[in-house]
Chain A
Amino acid sequence: MGKLYKFLKYSFITIWTVFVVAPFLWALTTSFKDFNSVNGGATYIPWVDFEPKLEGWKVLIKSPANGGVDIIEPYFNSLFVTCTASLISIVLGTLSAYALSRFTFKAGFVKNNDITFFFISQRIMPPIVLSIPFFLFLGAIDLLDSLIGLIVVYIVLLMPIAVWIMVDFFNKVPREIDETALIDGCNPYQAFFKVVLPNSVPGLIVAGMFCIIFGWIDFFFAFILTFTEVQLLPVKIVALNSSITPWWSLSASALVSVAPLIIVAFIVERYLSKGNLSGAIK
């Protein structure tokens, strides 16, 4: 029984691993191809199946004027927008989450859980619902095709995540710690900043990671709300997806854009093993 289970287990893991790695490997080989290697049919191993060329990669370095693909600027735009929006979302979201965890609110029939639900329900809205109004809204205040406009919209996307994770986290920090801080002479603000916050670092890190991930991967809002002045990475890559763009530059650009977040994967795994992630879920 044990042996069969072990065999199944390792087979399953192997199959899934192959599945996970497949597109990356494919993109990697494809990035070294040229016209002939692609159009003859699928080819796999360089030097064996086809003649590797650096064309796909050179394109990333060449400037647009020379037929290159500029992904440096979109890269930094994405980074800037994602980080700023995440930061603002976490700051505001954490404050609200603390209030929802510790204090009771009652305005008519609206209570704490309703307010929390309101925050979280923003995630239910598909981007399409808000994209047209936002399009008009940003247009009216002249923030279309701007970094700031995009940040404003991303806050709506990311604050719910921050609130969801932090409310849960704060609920697990014993109230008595806040109370002791008050008794020791802290007013509620000091209690929060000096005592609760330092003990919430794991939760903040989880919230931060999720915000950054979900902000970085957005395609739709960037697609609708920016054009030429500001370009974000996902949009740029998809634009390359027209039938004209060769597969090799496509693959190279894709690989380069995807690489950085893999670092986040390492961070997340470290935190998981330390047992800090578990508090934030549920």
Chain B
Amino acid sequence: MNFKHKYVFLFPGLFVLIGILIFPIIFVVRLSLSGWNSYNGLNFIGLENYIRLFTDDPRFWQSFLRLSFLSVTTVILQYVIGFALAHMVWKDIKFQRFFRVLFLIPMMTTPVIMTVIWRTFFHESLGPVNDILSNFGMSPKWLTDPTLAKITVIIVEVWQWTPFMFLLLLAGLLSLPKEPFLAAAIDGASPIRKFIYVTFPLMAPISIGAIIIRLIEASKIMDTVYVLTSGGPGTSTETSSFYIFIKGLREFQMGYAASMSFTYLIIMIISLTFIAKGLTKLLLKD
């Protein structure tokens, strides 16, 4: 039988993708083996960049820690809040449609643009947050205190992306079969028991998918940091992406930035694979 059609379907997309990617990827690898900066051209220095990265650059690894902290925290918050919201608007409730649309809106906005607004919102002297808090004698330095800056970033990220979790989880809830719930009702299960033993386990596969997807996206966090804090104060909100950005496009150490990028990529792929497997074991065993 003629199997040519198999390839006719697959190849256009695959080839276009590979075609567009191939030069950049090879170039990144090549670049990482060079010392391209404002002085040198495309020379060849072997693994020097990588050696420097692994032995002499604590800032990179710190940025990784910060990234892990920020992304894991935001994803957990988004998951918990998103699930709670989805659960609440799942069944009939007053103004159900209104709330559903409302809760979706933040995701539809351009993060960068909203962050511009957040900057004015959290402005330490002219913004509304501190204005209200001053009535309680507080005036937190949202954008200039290292710890608070992290919190501000988390708040903005949670605002922006919880709807994404909310959407995926609500869609999941709506697709659940009715039978287990009927059985639970017959057994006289309380709402809490119903949730722990019926709802949550049934949602496990979807939860895993949603968390992984959000982790992938959250780890790329860049826009928010760029506009809100520029990685600051100091380096307190500097994520890996941002550090690579600084090295590459501000200090023009392109070769070194490339080696960081490549290392970052490998680490991300490995850790995401592990996280996916780990989550699967954890949630699907319950």
Chain B: how many interface residues by the 8 Å CB criterion? Answer: 92
* Cross-chain contact A155 with B10 (CB below 8 angstroms): no
- The residue that B125 contacts in the complex, of A30, A41, A137, A273, with Cβ under 8 A, is A41
Chain A residues, Cβ within 8 Å of B100: 269, 272-273
Digitize B247-270: 1 where CB-to-A-CB distance is under 8 Å, 0 elsewhere: 011000010011001101100110
Q: Nearest A residue to B210 by beta-carbon distance?
A: A281
Q: Is A265 an interface residue (CB 8 A)?
A: yes
Chain B residues, Cβ within 8 Å of A213: 107-108
Chain A: how many interface residues by the 8 Å CB criterion? Answer: 92
* Cross-chain contact A159 with B17 (CB below 8 angstroms): yes
Digitize B214-231: 1 where CB-to-A-CB distance is under 8 Å, 0 elsewhere: 001101101100110000
Q: Nearest A residue to B168 by beta-carbon distance?
A: A281
CB distance from B163 to the nearest CB of A (A): 9
- The residue that A17 contacts in the complex, of B99, B128, B171, with Cβ under 8 A, is B99
* Cross-chain contact B245 with A96 (CB below 8 angstroms): no
- The residue that B248 contacts in the complex, of A132, A220, A262, A264, with Cβ under 8 A, is A132
**A27 to B128 CA separation, bound complex (whole angstroms):** 11
Chain B residues, Cβ within 8 Å of A39: 126
Q: Is A201 an interface residue (CB 8 A)?
A: no
A window 110-134: CB within 8 A of B: 115, 119, 121-134
* Cross-chain contact B110 with A216 (CB below 8 angstroms): yes
- Which of A53-61, A62-70, A186-194 lies at the binding interface? A186-194
Among A99, A100, A115, A123, the most chain B Cβ lie within 10 Å of the Cβ of A99
* Cross-chain contact A257 with B110 (CB below 8 angstroms): yes
Q: Nearest B residue to A168 by beta-carbon distance?
A: B209
Chain B residues, Cβ within 8 Å of A123: 216-217
**A39 to B216 CA separation, bound complex (whole angstroms):** 40
* Cross-chain contact B113 with A254 (CB below 8 angstroms): yes
A interface residues, Cβ below 8 angstroms from B = 1, 5, 9, 12-13, 16-17, 19-23, 26-27, 30, 38-39, 41-42, 44, 92-93, 95-100, 103, 105, 115, 119, 121-134, 136-137, 152-153, 155-156, 159, 163, 187-189, 192, 213, 216-217, 219-220, 224, 233-234, 237-238, 240-241, 247, 250-251, 254, 257-258, 261-262, 264-266, 268-269, 272-273, 275, 277-282
A22-B121, A23-B118, A258-B109 given; 12 more Cβ-contact pairs under 8 Å: A21-B102, A96-B10, A126-B220, A126-B261, A127-B220, A134-B24, A156-B21, A163-B13, A219-B111, A261-B109, A269-B104, A272-B170
22 pairs, A vs B, C-beta closer than 8 Å: A23-B114, A23-B159, A27-B120, A95-B13, A103-B9, A115-B14, A123-B217, A124-B265, A126-B240, A128-B244, A128-B245, A130-B24, A159-B16, A189-B8, A216-B110, A217-B110, A217-B111, A219-B226, A265-B105, A278-B172, A282-B205, A282-B206
The 6 closest A-B pairs by CB, nearest first: A278-B175, A133-B24, A96-B13, A42-B131, A99-B10, A99-B9
B interface residues, Cβ below 8 angstroms from A = 3, 5-14, 16-17, 20-21, 23-25, 27-28, 31, 81, 84-85, 88, 97, 99-114, 116-121, 125-128, 130-131, 159, 167-168, 170-172, 174-175, 190-191, 205-206, 209-210, 216-217, 219-220, 222-223, 226-227, 240-241, 244-245, 248-249, 254, 257-258, 261-262, 264-265, 268-269, 272
